[in-house]
Amino acid sequence: MKKAEVVCELLECGYAVNATGAAAFGQGSGSEVDTKDSCFDNVTALQQCSIKGFTAGTCGHEHDAGVLCAAQLRLVSSLSQCAGRVEILHKGQWGTVCDDEWEMSNADVVCKQLGCGIAVSAPTSAHFGKGTGPIWLDNVVCSGQEAALTHCKHHGFGEHNCGHHEDAGVICSGSLEKPRISLSPGPEVNWGDNVEITCTIVTEHLGGTFVLRKTQESTKLEMFFEHEAATFIFSKVDFNHTGSYFCEYHKKLQDQDISYPQGNTVDLFVTVKLGKPSISLTSPQAMVIYSPDKISVTQGSSFSITCSTYSTYAEGVFHLMWSDKRSSETQPAFTYFIFSQANFDFATIGYEHQGEYTCVYSVNISSLPFCSAPSKTLQVTVQAPLSLTVGGVVGGVVVLLVVLVIGYLVSRNRWRAAGTTVQFQNRFGAAMRPNVEDRSDGVLDGREWNMHSNVNNCRTEAKNQDGKTILEDMDGRVCYELEPLVCIGPK
């Protein structure tokens, strides 16, 4: 190849595309010569060897050497090296190519020669602007198989009847960037959410058609857009929207449809995310509300466990899971706006009710069941009634004392609680104020809302070790007048 380069250079035929042996261009006739390797060091050396005369060779014409040269090409006046006005170097001077008979097959040869893939367009009429200097080629006719543009048929260098307003250009596939795709709010979305898929293109040829396709499906969404990005909006997605998507971009240019390379795919996954429900315990008889981790309940008393959650998915059911018996009970949820709850009543508590309880919220969407993670665990232990452990008169005295103490506490709280903020809610959901901004984490433990009330006789707030406000449990104060009540939890 190095020897071929020197030959092409000497003949001012551009660069060497190929060096062949074995009479690839046919056998010659007449005398043959041997040449020293040093003759091909450079053009000057080859000229000097030629002047001195070569020594006669004995190879035979079947070994005749051949060289394939090609004029150097470049594409100018575009942002990409693989698109632009075609310019050709001949006798040390860059010139243009006339658009007469300028076809896709010509453009294909140019793109291949430059390592720019295949042609997507063969623009004419100085699409990339008028060149300057000589018009080197005219009426170029390529089959598309040629290795270089100068191997196509043409009238010869500098032979033309053109002006620079006829300068030919090419757009090769190597110049086209594939469109990019992005998903909002993200690849995993909730059933019923709105989703935006944006296709973005980097190109000099704006004003094309964006196409959004889903893999393995023939359906497509199309949008003509003058700008570099187009957004496709899916409102209220369902499970059918789950899948892989990709963008395409097409642009008509001088009656040729340029198809940009297919973009990468992104996956959209539609799911149902349910927040962790809250669990709390209500004793209707004693009218005490609390939501502890553990609770000790007197045998024979009654209470109810309340499961609650915030969810945009209404009309679900709550399951009260009972670990000790590995069983569960199910209640339909009562829903107000995005708040849902259900009560599980235990009329007469017995030792068989001891164990750990958790709440799970469940909804059916498109005939598919979805469950939340279980709530925190509520551990219930059952203790003997006071009268069985402390007999007769002593018990009566203790009960009397307890009643007196409670009476004192209540009267004190009545006075103290007047006009204070109270964090509970009646069961019918009036005046709820859900904190919509703060439910993004899906974990709704009752912190997100509270209710302001001037109802008297209810517990006031207390601070836990972290300084957070909590509601006091059974050991604290008692609530008499509001019934039914549901504990909403700490503020």
Binding site for Ca ion (CB under 5 A): 99-100, 138-139, 161, 166
- As measured in angstroms, the least distance from the Cβ of 165 to Ca ion is 9
Q: Which is nearer to Ca ion, 154 or 214 (CB)?
A: 154
- Under 8 Å CB-to-CB from 387, ≥6 apart: which residues? 395
Q: Is 47 strand, coil or helix?
A: helix
Strand partners, 400: none
Q: Which two tokens stand for residue 375?
A: 């709530």
- As measured in angstroms, the least distance from the Cβ of 248 to Ca ion is 33
Q: Which is nearer to Ca ion, 231 or 256 (CB)?
A: 256
Q: Which is nearer to Ca ion, 168 or 189 (CB)?
A: 168
Rg (CA), the chain: 43
Q: Which is nearer to Ca ion, 24 or 141 (CB)?
A: 141
Q: Which of 322, 323, 325, 327 is nearest to 305 (CA)?
A: 322
C-beta nearest to Ca ion: residue? 100
Q: Which is nearer to Ca ion, 100 or 177 (CB)?
A: 100
Q: Which is nearer to Ca ion, 38 or 161 (CB)?
A: 161
Q: Which is nearer to Ca ion, 164 or 427 (CB)?
A: 164
- As measured in angstroms, the least distance from the Cβ of 153 to Ca ion is 13
Helix-helix angle 2-10:43-52, to 10 degrees: 80
- As measured in angstroms, the least distance from the Cβ of 157 to Ca ion is 14
DSSP code string of 191-255: TT--EEEEEE---S--SEEEEEEETT---EEEEEESSSEEEEEESS--GGG-EEEEEEEEEEETT
In angstroms, the CA 223 to CA 210 distance is 5
- As measured in angstroms, the least distance from the Cβ of 99 to Ca ion is 5
Q: How far apart are the first and last CA of the chain?
A: 83
Report the phi/psi class of residue 162: left, alpha or beta, with left for phi > 0 and alpha for psi in -120 to 50. beta
For β-strands 266-271 and 188-190, DSSP reports them as parallel
Q: Which is nearer to Ca ion, 98 or 363 (CB)?
A: 98
- As measured in angstroms, the least distance from the Cβ of 106 to Ca ion is 13
- As measured in angstroms, the least distance from the Cβ of 76 to Ca ion is 19
- As measured in angstroms, the least distance from the Cβ of 92 to Ca ion is 24
In angstroms, the CA 261 to CA 121 distance is 14
Q: Is 278 strand, coil or helix?
A: strand
